[in-house]
Amino acid sequence: MNSTEIIQLLQQQQGPALAAAVADGLHPHVVVPADRLMAVATVLRTDWRLRFDLLRCISAIDWPAKNTIELSYDLLATARGHSFAVKVLLDRANPRVESLRGIWPAAEWHEREAFDLMGVTFLHHPDLRRILLPEDWVGHPLRKDYQYPTEYQGLQLNP
């Protein structure tokens, strides 16, 4: 299926859940509200025409001017050969969204990374710990307004 057909199918199944849809360009995607993400993801994973069985990546993007953190879930259907993306926009002050660990197991570590570096909280995640940085690290370094530490456990970091 091409992007237009995928969007039509989603609109039939989840009509009012889609906030926006982009069918052309380099990154065709739909934007969904945070509370409808689980329902849309379930359709993408289970509908026999879609069968998106591979979650390739979860990208988190910080938009301070828009006061938004954007999550982009990039999907691939290995048997069907089509790919698509779902985006969800979160409040920058308190970004939280349901974990998709139950739909795509690969989401577990991707969500830990987004939590570690961007500070997104994933509800009902089985093991939401930092994945890259030390456990006692302060802050989320990929936020645009992150203040670089001058030292960590006695090590001088910014000479």
- Is 138 a binding residue for other proteins by CB under 8 A? The answer is no
Given the complex with other proteins, which of 123 and 132 has the nearer CB atom?
132
**Of 102 and 141, which has the nearer Cβ to other proteins?**
141
Q: Examine residue 129 and tell whether it contacts other proteins (CB under 8 A).
A: no
> Which of 57, 49, 98 is closest to 75 using CA atoms?
57
Tell me which of 65, 79, 93, 155 binds other proteins, using CB under 8 A: 155
Q: Is 48 in the site for other proteins (CB under 8 A)?
A: no
Distance of alpha carbon 124 from alpha carbon 99, whole angstroms: 6
Q: Does 134 bind other proteins (CB under 8 A)?
A: yes
Summarize as ranges the residues that interact with other proteins (CB under 8 A). Answer: 132-134, 137, 141, 146, 148-149, 152-153, 155-159
